[in-house]
Amino acid sequence: MKVDAARGLAGRLPDGEAFLAAMAGPFARAVRTHPRRGQPSGWGDLRAVAWNPQGRFHADDLDPGDFLDYHTGTVHPQDAASQVPAVLLAAQPGETIVDVCAAPGSKSTQIGLDLGDDGLLICCDASAPRRRVLAEVCARQGITCAVITPMGIEALVERHPGSADGVLVDAPCSGHEPRSDKQVARMSDRQVALLASSAPLVRPGGRLVYSTCTPHVAENEEVIERFLAAHPRWSVDPRTLSGCDTDLAGLGAIRLWPQRQGTEPFFACRLLHAGDEPAVTPVGYLPPGDGLLGRWLPGSELHCWRRGTAVFMGSAAAAACPIPSEARGTLLGHARGDHLDPEAWAAQALIERGATSIAVERVDAAGLWAGDAVPGLPIGSFIRTGDGAPLGLMARDGRLALPSRMRRAGLRY
């Protein structure tokens, strides 16, 4: 009979029995708010996530997809524990960051919002369906600095070693399902290999964050200890976060527990590469610029370019990045000569960045999202709510320009 490895871990905890009971879930549900799209509305009691100023816990019986805020990108559903790695990584505008296991995109977009429109976020994932989801999540959140690539880590390291200021390895793990010690050990070996293969991407002086959503020591503290033993130029950068526990080995890493924080079990550790050298950023060539963006965002530092009739906007670094990609920047729309109607999510991205827009009441906003016509709104105008949530562009029929698959009736607001 398989013995659950979690029982052995419980013996090391003062509240081990509570830990085992809490591992069955459910875990506290949370969203992450967008820093430029207003505040959530209509959710009732939202509790702050102590370790992330943008995090909010919400009631278990609420579905974020039922709210206008989700469709405007004001909130993004994300477990509160999984918000820890990007907080530890602390990406800064102008940096180059690699997300090694990027899909489905919650952590990538959190990093992308930290970088803003000045920097480069390289999002790696081997699965084509997962990359499609990742591209959609980035578009919904208005991320302009991302390059989504199928390139494997080994190839990326071979061509561009030392190219990143920071790397996130949110590793595949055993999760919180019952696992035997043997299964956990096999997963640990994979994680050590992934961490070792990703580390050469980091410049001397840069940092790497390793994280998992499993409680097992062999996949967390022991992975870090094994990596450090084989890589003497790396060390732990000790960190504490409000509301979080420290790790079980005194490394200076972060732990979250279902019986204490109410989240899924989680581990995250920030590592530093010795030295101090600038990142060897991949050098590319900016595609020929296009002036269409200037009509909405005059003076914007975003680069705007065409590929056929498709028009894109992105950070200069994302536009110039030579790494093969399936998506980069944000699809702005499709041009017909000098005319362009922005895509729905691109319209939201323009509004949040200051494009001239008209405010409507939230009741009208919910109606527009359902496909209702609202009289008196000029054709071609950008529409937002009074508290800053971006809606999109008014079409000729007095309705919001939305694909039918995006329309939702009865949204809470």
What amino acid is encoded at 106 in this protein?
S
Whether the bond into 26 is cis, omega within 30 of 0: yes
* Residue 267 β-bridge partners: 212, 255
Backbone angles phi, psi at 16, to 5 degrees: -60, -40
Contacts of 194 (CB under 8 A, 6+ apart): 100, 153, 169, 171, 172
3-state secondary structure of 70: helix
Q: How far are the Cα atoms of 71, 123, 187, 210, 211 from residue 221, in angstroms, in the given order? A: 39, 26, 13, 10, 10
173 annotated active-site? no
Structure tokens of 403?
A: 């694909």
What are the residue ranges of helices labelled H in 141-180? 153-159
Tokens of 53: 């100023």
Phi-psi region of 11 (alpha: psi -120 to 50; beta: other; left: phi over 0): alpha
Helices of type H across 200-353: 221-230, 316-320, 344-352
> Per the residue annotation, which of 213, 244, 304, 321 is the catalytic one?
213
35, 54 contact by CB (below 8 A): yes
Enter the tokens of residue 352: 């949040």
At 156 the three-state DSSP class reads: helix
Q: How far apart are CA 184 and CA 174, in angstroms?
A: 7
Using alpha carbons, select from 65, 145, 42, 43 the residue that is nearest to residue 98: 145
Q: How many residues are there in the chain? A: 413
Amino acid at residue number 32: R
Q: Are 41 and 69 in contact (CB under 8 A)?
A: yes
Active site residues: 213
